[in-house]
């Protein structure tokens, strides 16, 4: 039996990248997996098939994570299929990188809504059932940008910093209900967004990489598994950096 055997996990934005790696690892450890995706239907189906091959149940839902009603509908559907949600992983995110003087209001709103508002929506949607059963795990995927900032990412850094604040606040609100809320803050990870970069293109971040290696999605997934498992039952409100010292 795995670390999260027979648990129900909901992961946002898991058709590819870090989200997919998280979904596959939690499935390997015994969890039934539901996940959302925005538009990549073929990638989502490939992920469903890969999860199913591990002997657990899985399905994907196309959803607008920044819409509260859509979010509640997702949570209701997952609960109907698999039972109450035990683990929520807020991973959905986008970038719209521009320097401040060139950033549009839409660039700002799209990133804040997708990266931060969606996390609020899903945390709110699952919290009542977790409170009722007096247990639950929420893991938010933040970013190094939310910790130290990054030129050209005012919107993204603000959203991820907000996610860290959200994590620490609701961790305190839900602690007495035996619900742990934590976050991971990865740096450069070999996903579609950054896999073409080398260290010379990473600007000031390259000096923060003690091992001079870009992380693999599976390595970030291991951190999420720890926070989703009983091993972290006495840990809440923490942010675990994934690249820097």
Catalytic residue numbers?
Answer: 156
Whether 40 and 16 have beta carbons less than 8 Å apart is answered as: yes
- Put residue 203 in one of left, alpha, beta given phi > 0 → left and psi -120 to 50 → alpha: left
Collapsing DSSP states into helix, strand and coil, what is residue 7? coil
Cα 34 off chain centre by: 13
> In which element (H, E) is residue 136 found?
strand 136-141
Which pair of tokens denotes residue 150? 């990054």
* Rounded distance between C-alpha atoms, residue 172 and residue 169, angstroms: 5
Contacts of 170 (CB under 8 A, 6+ apart): 123, 127, 138, 181
Collapsing DSSP states into helix, strand and coil, what is residue 129? helix
* Rounded distance between C-alpha atoms, residue 228 and residue 23, angstroms: 12
């Amino acid at each position: 039996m795995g670390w999260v055997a027979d648990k129900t996990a909901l992961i946002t934005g898991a058709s590819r990248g870090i989200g997919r790696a998280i979904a596959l690892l939690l499935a390997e450890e015994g969890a039934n997996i539901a996940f959302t995706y925005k538009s990549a239907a073929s990638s989502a189906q490939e992920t469903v098939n890969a999860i199913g091959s591990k002997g657990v149940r899985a399905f994907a839902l196309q959803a607008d994570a920044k819409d509260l009603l859509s979010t509640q509908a997702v949570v209701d559907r997952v609960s109907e299929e698999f039972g109450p949600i035990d683990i929520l992983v807020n991973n959905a995110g986008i970038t719209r990188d521009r320097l401040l003087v060139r950033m549009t209001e839409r660039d700002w709103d799209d990133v804040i809504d997708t990266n931060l508002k969606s996390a609020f929506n899903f945390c709110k949607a699952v919290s009542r059932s977790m409170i009722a059963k007096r247990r639950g795990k929420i893991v938010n995927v933040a970013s190094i940008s939310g910790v130290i900032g990054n030129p050209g990412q005012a919107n993204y850094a603000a959203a991820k910093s907000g996610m860290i604040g959200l994590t620490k606040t609701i961790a305190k609100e839900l602690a007495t209900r035996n619900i742990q809320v934590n976050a991971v803050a990865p740096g450069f990870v070999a996903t579609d967004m950054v896999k073409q970069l080398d260290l010379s293109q990473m600007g000031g971040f390259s000096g923060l990489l003690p091992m001079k290696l870009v992380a693999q999605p599976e390595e970030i997934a291991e951190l999420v598994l720890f926070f989703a498992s009983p091993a972290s039952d006495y840990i809440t409100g923490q942010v675990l950096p994934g690249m820097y010292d």
